[in-house]
Amino acid sequence: MEKAGAAYKVHIETFGCQMNEYDTELVRSLLKAKGFAFTEDRECADVVLMNTCAIREHAHNKVYGHLADLKALKRQRKLVIGVLGCMAQNLKEELTETVPIVDVLAGPDSYRRLPDLLTGAIAAQEKGDVQRGIAVDLSEYETYQDIMPEQATGITAWIAVMRGCDNFCTFCVVPYTRGRERSRAPQGIIREVEHLAAQGYKQITLLGQNVNSYRFEDWDFARLITAVADVPGIERVRFTSPHPKDFPPALLDAVAGHPRICKHIHLPLQVGNDRILRLMGRTYSRKEYLDLVEDIRRRRDDIALTTDIICGFCTETEEEFLDTYLTVQEVGYHAAFIFKYSERKNTIAARKYQDDVSERIKSNRVTRLVELQKAISLRKNRSMIGQTVRVLVEGDAKKSSDQWMGRTDTNITAVWEKRDAGTHPGDFTPIKISHVSATTVFGDELPAR
């Protein structure tokens, strides 16, 4: 069936985090090598794949919604449906029993088997038969080391340097859906970065569920990120998502000192109360977290911090929530992702604790924190009015093709009117900020210096 793929058009929909977006690129690369073609249009696809996320109920419900649409489509014509990613891994029984339209299930460590599973399902369908393909084994070794993902933009690229998670935060499903931590060999990563630089890529984001736990022989994350930032042609290096427990001085020095490592750290707090931090299994106290923030700021006070927060974890009281509120106020993040706690099947919290904070209270806490964060973000952005920032041009602004969109070193989105015909995506350009919102800075492009 090597050639059979060529006749078949695959449409892939991706949900969830950057790691999933990256995995979709890996899957495209694996399928392309077997002759499959791709389409952006679900209506003319022979195969629809959904790369799913299981981290919160919302993502989970969205996938079920899409599956209902596909069921209608599959009644009208031949269609092979595949569910990939974290939901495939975590909900294999539920998915195969309650959604019989799913032909193929493949978890995050099983994508090498996907071309064969699809080919089998397609061949069976041609004969009026059904062949269900399931590959959900977790691996201690799979890092897709030798697969070059299909990177979309030509300017910014992602590289997964480690996969999996051994932390078992009690609320989190990731250790179950993505398995144990394993890191890729640094030599292969650096070769990939050199290859991307030669193609004109300007920015690399190093990805991992616990990216700063990276370890390969005597390489740690500080050494890796420095080596990546030293590759000629690469102008910016970012990383996500780190855990606050793995920030040795060498890593802080690298972020603060290396001119091509971006001055931005995403530092998931989750909550600012010690009892809830312990229940979550986060391994740091509020004070240890704040000491780390101080360590960062002592090195450089212009490093932007962002975070993740969960509201309404099991047994969280109003007073305990206020500790989180005060911590957010005290740190002054540039931005925060704020979530309602949602119980996930199989997690330690689901087995040991009661999800006893009501939806109403969870929503109320989220709303209050979102309002607080909006005011902080706005204040921080306002303080940039009048400054000139160096921005990497990424492409057209979302709202208008008369405007460009780019990002600052600190990962703030900038939007400005297109004027200079000489500006192109991939350029670095100075923008003088004239006005701002909580999420975006706006301004004018100055002549390049």
Q: Which does residue 60 bind out of ligand SF4, ligand 5AD, none, counting CB within 5 to 8 angstroms by kind?
A: none
Q: Which does residue 167 bind out of ligand SF4, ligand 5AD, none, counting CB within 5 to 8 angstroms by kind?
A: ligand SF4
Could you say whether residue 64 binds ligand SF4 (CB under 6 A)?
Answer: no
Could you say whether residue 20 binds ligand SF4 (CB under 6 A)?
Answer: no
For residue 366, what are its two tokens? 């989220």
Residue from 56, 243, 264, 266 touching ligand SF4 (CB under 6 A): that is 243
The answer to whether 47 touches 79, Cβ cutoff 8 Å, is: yes
Write the CA distances from 249 to 191, 255, 300, 369, integer angstroms.
27, 10, 13, 31
Please report, for the chain, how many H helices and E strands are present, in that order. Answer: 14, 21
**Under the rule (CB under 6 A), what is the footprint of ligand 5AD?**
55-56, 171-172, 268, 270, 308, 310, 339, 341-342, 344
**Amino acid making up residue 373:** Q
Closer Cβ to ligand SF4, 66 or 362, answer by number? 362
Could you say whether residue 172 binds ligand SF4 (CB under 6 A)?
Answer: yes
Can you say how many angstroms the Cα of residue 223 is from the centroid of all Cα atoms in its chain?
A: 22
The alpha helices in 310-387, defined as continuous H runs, are: 318-331, 348-352, 359-382
Instruction: Tell the smallest beta-carbon distance from residue 36 to ligand 5AD (Å).
Output: 31
State the distance between the two ends of the chain, measured CA to CA, in whole angstroms.
56
Instruction: Tell the smallest beta-carbon distance from residue 357 to ligand SF4 (Å).
Output: 19
Q: Which does residue 344 bind out of ligand SF4, ligand 5AD, none, counting CB within 5 to 8 angstroms by kind?
A: ligand 5AD
Measure the CA angle with vertex 365, ends 165 and 267; round to 5°. Answer: 35
Instruction: Select the span of 168-176, 218-226, 348-356, 430-438 touching ligand SF4 (CB under 6 A).
Output: 168-176
Could you say whether residue 143 binds ligand SF4 (CB under 6 A)?
Answer: no
Stretch (H or E) spanning 305? strand 304-311
d(CA 366, CA 335): 14
The answer to whether 77 touches 53, Cβ cutoff 8 Å, is: no
d(CA 158, CA 156): 7
Instruction: Select the span of 38-46, 164-172, 283-291, 425-433 touching ligand SF4 (CB under 6 A).
Output: 164-172
Q: Which does residue 64 bind out of ligand SF4, ligand 5AD, none, counting CB within 5 to 8 angstroms by kind?
A: none
Q: In what order do the strands lie in the sheet with 156-160?
A: 156-160, 203-207, 236-240
d(CA 420, CA 179): 49
Instruction: Tell the smallest beta-carbon distance from residue 18 to ligand SF4 (Å).
Output: 13
Could you say whether residue 169 binds ligand SF4 (CB under 6 A)?
Answer: yes
**Applying CB under 6 A, what is the total number of residues that bind ligand SF4?**
10
Closer Cβ to ligand SF4, 205 or 381, answer by number? 205
**Amino acid making up residue 228:** V
d(CA 358, CA 342): 11
Closer Cβ to ligand SF4, 174 or 222, answer by number? 174
Residue from 102, 117, 134, 165 touching ligand SF4 (CB under 6 A): that is 165
Closer Cβ to ligand SF4, 181 or 220, answer by number? 181
Instruction: Tell the smallest beta-carbon distance from residue 145 to ligand 5AD (Å).
Output: 25
Could you say whether residue 365 binds ligand SF4 (CB under 6 A)?
Answer: no
Could you say whether residue 174 binds ligand SF4 (CB under 6 A)?
Answer: yes
Buried b (16+ CB within 10 A) or exposed e, 191-228: ebbeebbeeebbbbbbbbbbbbbbbbeebbbbbbbbbb
Instruction: Tell the smallest beta-carbon distance from residue 213 to ligand SF4 (Å).
Output: 9
Could you say whether residue 309 binds ligand SF4 (CB under 6 A)?
Answer: no
Could you say whether residue 168 binds ligand SF4 (CB under 6 A)?
Answer: yes
Q: Which does residue 175 bind out of ligand 5AD, ligand SF4, none, counting CB within 5 to 8 angstroms by kind?
A: ligand SF4
Asked, as a colleague might, if the bond just before 437 is cis with ω within 30 of 0, I would say no
List the interface residues with ligand SF4, window 179-238 (CB under 6 A). 209-210
The answer to whether 385 touches 445, Cβ cutoff 8 Å, is: no
> Which residues of the shown chain bind ligand SF4 in the complex (CB under 6 A)?
165, 167-169, 172, 174-175, 209-210, 243
